[in-house]
Amino acid sequence: MIDSQDQSKDISRMVQKDKVEQALLVGLHGAPELKYDEKVQYLGEFRERIIKKLTTAQVREKGIYSEILQALEDPRADKLIINGSIDYRVIEKYKSLAARCKKISTVRSDPSFQGDTGLIVISDEAVDIQDIEVEDRSSRLRRLGIPPALIEAAGQKVCKDCMEQIAEADEYEKINYRQLTWIDRLTGDTCPGHK
């Protein structure tokens, strides 16, 4: 029959051994990370903190996604994080947008990142928004009745009528256009929405 004192010593040695093994594993592989697979998918952040997400292809498009402006204006939004694998000239428009909304913007590069996440707007707390994906800008604007020529004119000057059409479809979409002035017309500029 085993003495209860001996049994306690055996259990204590097993627990101690586990602690030593745990310390060795942490030393070799680093501390275990909570939801690692999720974090490499979302630029090092937890899914539950994300308000909106763009793919790398969406970030590279000429226009700015109005949903990101709306997300940055959300009172829960704290930061904009951009995938560092995207050319800095392309991401500058979103960094400027974050600055205009008085939000922090960060560019993160890590070879362990996986998936197609190009940009996320996050909160410092869990927000648990179900639909963080953003519909393709061209598809959304076509669905709202904007002509293809006008959709492709993002970043250009358009006439007053086209600007009103854009604002009527989506007020936030005006960030992608400027209005033609009479001086522009004198110098030969025309609205790309009417070509």
β-partners of residue 119 are 54, 82
Q: Is the pLDDT of residue 129 over 80?
A: yes
Question: Lowest-pLDDT range, 36-45, 77-86, 118-127, 176-185?
Answer: 36-45
* Concatenated DSSP letters of 61-106: SSSPPHHHHHHHHSTT--EEEEETTS-HHHHHHHHHHHHHTT-EEE
The whole-angstrom separation of Cα 28 and Cα 90 is 39
Give me the residue label for tokens 């979103």: 94
Give the DSSP letter of residue 47. Answer: G
Cα–Cα distance between 50 and 131 in angstroms, integer? Answer: 10
3-state secondary structure of 117: strand
Residue 127 backbone dihedrals phi, psi, to 5 degrees = -115, -20
pLDDT of amino acid 113: 84
Mean local confidence (pLDDT), 130-140: 93
Cβ burial, residue 158 (10 Å; 0-12/13-18/19+): buried
pLDDT at 4 over 70: no
Around 5, how many Cα atoms within 13 Å sit in the side-chain half-sphere? Answer: 0
**Confidence class of residue 40 from pLDDT cuts 50, 70 and 90?**
confident
Burial of 131 (0-12, 13-18, 19+ CB in 10 A): exposed
State pLDDT tens for residues 152-165: 999 999 999 999 99
Highest-scoring range by mean pLDDT, 8-22, 34-48, 66-80: 66-80
Spatial contact of 137 and 65, defined as CB atoms under 8 Å apart: yes
Q: Across all residues in the chain, what is the average pLDDT?
A: 86
